[in-house]
Structure 1
Amino acid sequence: MIPNMSEALSWLEKHHTILHGIVRGIERETLRIDTHGNLVNTPFPSSIGSSLTHPWITTDFAESMLEFITPANASIDYTLTFLSDLHRYASGQIGDELMWPLSMPCFVNHEQDIQLAQYGTSNEGRLKTVYRQGLKNRYGAMMQTISGVHYNFSLPLAFWQARDGIRNAEEGKDVISEGYFRLIRNYYRFGWVIPYLFGASPSMCSCFIKNPEKLQSFLELTENTGYLPYATSLRLSDLGYTNDAQRSLGITFNRLDTYVEGIKRATKTKSETFSQLGIKQKGIYQQLNDNILQIENEFYAPIRPKRVAHANETPTDALLRGGIEYIEVRALDVNPFSPIGITEEQVRFIDLFLIWCTLAQAPEMSAPELECLKRNWNRVVMEGRKPNQVIGFGCDSHFEPLSKVGHALFKDLLRVADVLDRNNHNHAYREVCLRLDTLFDHPELTLSGKMLKAIKELGTEGFGLSLAKQYKQQLLAEPLQLLTTTDFNKQRIRSLNKLEMIESQNNMDFDEFLKQLNA
């Protein structure tokens, strides 16, 4: 079952004020589509600014794939209002186009229809596009258009000072990093609760399923779409956003030095498979290099340790310099029942769960155990709502009913909720706990359960398109609440000026630039 948390929770209840100042940030991805539900290939709107340099609105893999980014902030209301304003503004800048409200992409006839994100003529911009060309050649463009929501989370310094006796962040960077790795290990052991509750991709386009045997297990929804009756998040399954080449890396989350060493090794080790692609064909780059990872960000994981990097600093160099600053949770599907892809209820739950993961004991985790836990996750994302579903623990044969483990976890989370509510003088976290706890007995009320009911009635395309049109009207009708049109105009001008400056300073041949980067 779950670790005994009595002592840790009692300590937290005595030190409740140390949770003041939790900092959050949200990144939400979405595809731009036309009014018929087809992927568009129009450029990133110049009325927004430059996708290379805009701090709030950019593109991800494809030119049609918007990404909204909120700044880090300690207020849930501020963060969600900021995210809503980004959606409101963008809705007015994309003309008649809509934003696809599901994680799994709308129907795409051919992968060639997916245009890679373009970032201008600078070496920095070309680097980002060539990196995406490498992703396309390595894993396929369809997989890269799967959208998600990333949740960035950091605990206040007061938490670490009270728990571990450190004086400041620089002095205690190793202790803080150790604490965040404890969080990550518990996330791998128990984080399947996130796709169980909030998974929202029980169906997918049949074009994603290359294995005929796996295709046979799907029930046909429409000519192009299949579903699994108990699936929660096919986005997180082996059929969704995965990277088989990385399974042999053996990267673990026990110590910062070994984690960084594993990532760096993968960026310097050639891959036999990717070497066959070639780096250039007829003078055109097919990938940045033929290593297992082109760059460090190619490492796929449902959760990652992060630190804001300085200029020309890699993510792992930033971690070595200052330790872990925050955690990026990457297991959230886009919530189709929210115009911004995430709700306050989800934010509050993730807060509770990540605090619990930080407090709970977490023995070191070997690479084989990590693979066992990934299979546990796969059981939930493929059949999480199956009656009498069970959850495994580690690599042994011990299993417990998913509902039993879920209820036990929520007993602990309720105590964490009361601590946070005591600080905020309300019952918001407790109410979230009490409602979500019931979903273990009523899986049809989870996001995937509700979505499955809807797509059986409307089809995936009909469901997604009707929501996209509804949200477009809603967002256009709502006034900006936190930001102003002047704020967006200033960011547009700043981003375009910054792009012009970067491109004007482009005094090195791209081949030489890439050679130095790979060296």
Structure 2
Amino acid sequence: MSQRIDSRLSQLINAGQQHLLRNGLKGLEKESLRLAPDGVIAHTPHPIGVGSALTHPYITTDYSEALIELITPPHADPAETLRFLEDLHTFVYRNLGEEILLATSMPCGVAGDESIPIAEYGTSNIGRMKHVYRRGLAYRYGRTMQAIAGVHFNYSVNEALWPVLRELKGGSESLSGFIADNYFGMVRNVHRYGWLTIYLFGASPAFCKSFFTGREHLISEFSEFDAQTLFRPYATSLRMSDIGYKNDSQAGLEISFDNLEDYVASLGKAIETPFPLYERIGVKVDGEYRQLNGNILQIENEYYSIIRPKQITESGEKPTLALKKRGVRYLELRSLDLECFSPAGANLDQLRFLEIFLLFCLLEESSPLDSAEKAEVSRNGMAVACCGRTPGFKLRRKGGEISLKGWAAEMLDAMRGIAEILDAGDALKPYTRSLEAQGDLLSDPERTPSARMLAEMKENGESFAAYALRLSNEHARVFRERSLSAERAALFRRYSEQSLEEQRRIEAGDRFSFDEFLQRYFAQA
């Protein structure tokens, strides 16, 4: 593995172009459940002071009205990305009143589906579509699963690197085709190796027993930490396990990661293929929409995957059409729990390692994923989420067994050359240090976030709910006491005001009925 990476790095170094591995763009999307002061999920509307969830570029909601989502613009310097996320938190807390943001991925303060309000986006057709899509998710999978929070790491390769890589590889295809093929190579490798990020950054080994309200038969599958808390002793990320994001209707779904054309076609087919169980729910019943359609997927976002190839969409544009027209712009890594030991839900060492990891996935060979390997990599991810810290834990690789620690050590070793190039002569060696920090977690699993969480709960005699609420209040104090520059505060106020005006403009500008709007949306080609 490291020989292949080293060979490609040598090619770049010999061409004097290794610096082009730097300056890829990094962005974050971070979800947090809003809680009332007593730790119960908030039932207040999205705070008006932060603007419109429909149109604000940086502050919106995910599934629930209470599930706020903070989005940073992309930056070459991960420190700038993290600073922007911290500034967003600071601004949001100025508009939250006594409410707080939950520090953990697994939800607290919920008591069954009906306690979780679905997000509202106003009266416009596009706003209604976003709400109906979420209503469909509730009918299909229940609301509780949708209240789980995570962090998405968005990454785009330095655009100046692409023509150099194409020349070094001797490719004759168009540059846009080369870029798309290599992004899909990265996607396949993230599926192969993404279990490593679940092991290193998983922070959801426990959850409130109330998470299973209405599904009490599942309680027996877990160990009891205390009367209110369920857990698995060697779990890393139960968010990424079979109790987290999953879609049984997708079990037999063959989404292709071979290339852009096949990916778009296979995803489009799933959106157009009826699914009998969902058809029985009904689409428009007694004049009210329950879901957007009765197909396997309502829209592209319903396909749950640890990584998505993305293109920036225009208003009302289908994501698959944006990809088809303009290619892959960036990748969205979706397997990250909230880093609950950091107030913003992410830390700088983590962001630097993720940049190294994705460049590793770019430079490493990436053959197509056949059905057998897809099943193998899916099993690996689920196994690490459930039990990855088990002593002597083994994974499957090409039909055989390999120890998690041995395979991870191979990968970290292969990443060293990438880290050295990203350090660019910086005497502090921040990327190398971030790589070494992850090596420490491999050597001592008790230092992983998941193990630390369980150890602190045990030491303090806290249930998961008490632990999560204590951390959340500590983080709230950080942001309430944190200053915000006048320029940044003015920027956020301006975006909030503009977003509210933009929502009003959209609502006043609708020219079609909602039925016709949906028909036109799905007819895009």
Shorter chain as denominator, the TM-score bin is over 0.9
Code of the residue aligned with 1:79 in structure 2: it is: T
Offset of 1:423 from its aligned partner? 5.7
Which residue number in structure 2 is paired with residue 241 of structure 1?
A: 245
CA distance in structure 2 between the partners assigned to 1:325 and 1:488 by the alignment: 26
Which residue number in structure 2 is paired with residue 428 of structure 1?
A: 430
Partner-residue secondary structure (3-state), 1:274: helix
Query: Of the candidates 387, 393, 399, which is equivalent to residue 391 of structure 2?
Result: 387
8 Å CA contact 1:184–1:303 kept in 2: the answer is yes
1:206 is the counterpart of 2:209 = yes
Distance 1:422 1:65, change over 3 A: same
Query: Of the candidates 492, 503, 520, which is equivalent to residue 516 of structure 1?
Result: 520
Which residue number in structure 2 is paired with residue 319 of structure 1?
A: 323
1:197 is the counterpart of 2:200 = yes
Partner-residue secondary structure (3-state), 1:313: coil
Distance 1:483 1:348, change over 3 A: farther
Deviates most, 415-424 or 175-184: 415-424
1:224 is the counterpart of 2:228 = yes
CA distance in structure 1 between the partners assigned to 2:11 and 2:150 by the alignment: 35
Query: Of the candidates 21, 29, 48, which is equivalent to residue 46 of structure 1?
Result: 48
Code of the residue aligned with 1:182 in structure 2: it is: G
Which residue number in structure 1 is paired with residue 377 of structure 2?
A: 373
Deviates most, 297-306 or 484-493: 484-493
Offset of 1:424 from its aligned partner? 4.9
1:332 is the counterpart of 2:336 = yes
8 Å CA contact 2:2–2:413 kept in 1: the answer is no
CA distance in structure 1 between the partners assigned to 2:504 and 2:37 by the alignment: 34
Q: Give 1:414-453 correspondences, 5 Å limit.
A: 414-422=416-424, 424=426, 426-453=428-455
Which residue number in structure 2 is paired with residue 24 of structure 1?
A: 26
Offset of 1:482 from its aligned partner? 8.4
Which structure 1 segments of 5+ residues have no match?
none
CA distance in structure 1 between the partners assigned to 2:184 and 2:163 by the alignment: 17
Which residue number in structure 2 is paired with residue 69 of structure 1?
A: 71
Query: Of the candidates 166, 176, 180, which is equivalent to residue 179 of structure 2?
Result: 176
8 Å CA contact 1:217–1:228 kept in 2: the answer is no
Offset of 1:320 from its aligned partner? 1.3
Which residue number in structure 2 is paired with residue 345 of structure 1?
A: 349
1:507 is the counterpart of 2:505 = no
Partner-residue secondary structure (3-state), 1:487: helix
Provide Cα deviations, 1:371-396, integer angstroms capped at 9, x if missing partner: 221011111111100000012113x1
Deviates most, 368-377 or 474-483: 474-483
CA distance in structure 2 between the partners assigned to 1:392 and 1:141 by the alignment: 33
Deviates most, 420-429 or 445-454: 420-429
CA distance in structure 1 between the partners assigned to 2:58 and 2:494 by the alignment: 12
CA distance in structure 1 between the partners assigned to 2:245 and 2:405 by the alignment: 27
Which residue number in structure 1 is paired with residue 125 of structure 2?
A: 123
Which residue number in structure 2 is paired with residue 9 of structure 1?
A: 9
Partner-residue secondary structure (3-state), 2:293: coil
Which residue number in structure 1 is paired with residue 254 of structure 2?
A: 250
Distance 1:214 1:10, change over 3 A: farther
Number of residue pairs aligned between Structure 1 and Structure 2: 516
Provide Cα deviations, 1:155-190, integer angstroms capped at 9, x if missing partner: 1122211111299xx941110111111111111111
8 Å CA contact 1:81–1:482 kept in 2: the answer is no
8 Å CA contact 1:189–1:393 kept in 2: the answer is no
Which residue number in structure 2 is paired with residue 497 of structure 1?
A: 501
Deviates most, 503-512 or 458-467: 503-512
8 Å CA contact 1:101–1:339 kept in 2: the answer is yes
8 Å CA contact 2:156–2:331 kept in 1: the answer is yes
Provide Cα deviations, 1:418-451, integer angstroms capped at 9, x if missing partner: 1111265640001111121121121010111111
8 Å CA contact 2:228–2:463 kept in 1: the answer is no
CA distance in structure 2 between the partners assigned to 1:252 and 1:388 by the alignment: 33
1:409 is the counterpart of 2:415 = no
8 Å CA contact 2:316–2:521 kept in 1: the answer is no
Offset of 1:63 from its aligned partner? 0.5
CA distance in structure 2 between the partners assigned to 1:303 and 1:84 by the alignment: 24
Partner-residue secondary structure (3-state), 1:231: coil
Code of the residue aligned with 1:293 in structure 2: it is: L
Code of the residue aligned with 1:235 in structure 2: it is: R
Distance 1:42 1:305, change over 3 A: same
Which residue number in structure 2 is paired with residue 110 of structure 1?
A: 112
Offset of 1:222 from its aligned partner? 3.0
Deviates most, 460-469 or 10-19: 10-19
Which residue number in structure 1 is paired with residue 165 of structure 2?
A: 163
Code of the residue aligned with 2:10 in structure 1: it is: S
Code of the residue aligned with 2:9 in structure 1: it is: L
Query: Of the candidates 337, 344, 362, which is equivalent to residue 358 of structure 1?
Result: 362
Provide Cα deviations, 1:15-50, integer angstroms capped at 9, x if missing partner: 321123210110000000012211011001111111
Which structure 2 segments of 5+ residues have no match?
none
Partner-residue secondary structure (3-state), 1:372: helix
8 Å CA contact 1:201–1:235 kept in 2: the answer is yes
Offset of 1:322 from its aligned partner? 1.9
Which residue number in structure 2 is paired with residue 57 of structure 1?
A: 59
8 Å CA contact 1:85–1:482 kept in 2: the answer is no
Deviates most, 419-428 or 90-99: 419-428
8 Å CA contact 1:19–1:158 kept in 2: the answer is no
CA distance in structure 1 between the partners assigned to 2:247 and 2:457 by the alignment: 28
Which residue number in structure 2 is paired with residue 283 of structure 1?
A: 287
Provide Cα deviations, 1:477-498, integer angstroms capped at 9, x if missing partner: 1111585221122112111110
Distance 1:180 1:97, change over 3 A: same
CA distance in structure 1 between the partners assigned to 2:177 and 2:246 by the alignment: 31
Query: Of the candidates 144, 147, 150, which is equivalent to residue 145 of structure 1?
Result: 147
8 Å CA contact 2:206–2:229 kept in 1: the answer is yes
Distance 1:129 1:211, change over 3 A: closer
Deviates most, 21-30 or 222-231: 222-231
Offset of 1:501 from its aligned partner? 0.5
CA distance in structure 2 between the partners assigned to 1:66 and 1:333 by the alignment: 15
8 Å CA contact 1:16–1:423 kept in 2: the answer is no
Distance 1:203 1:482, change over 3 A: farther
8 Å CA contact 2:102–2:468 kept in 1: the answer is yes
Code of the residue aligned with 1:178 in structure 2: it is: D
Distance 1:211 1:375, change over 3 A: farther
8 Å CA contact 1:12–1:419 kept in 2: the answer is no
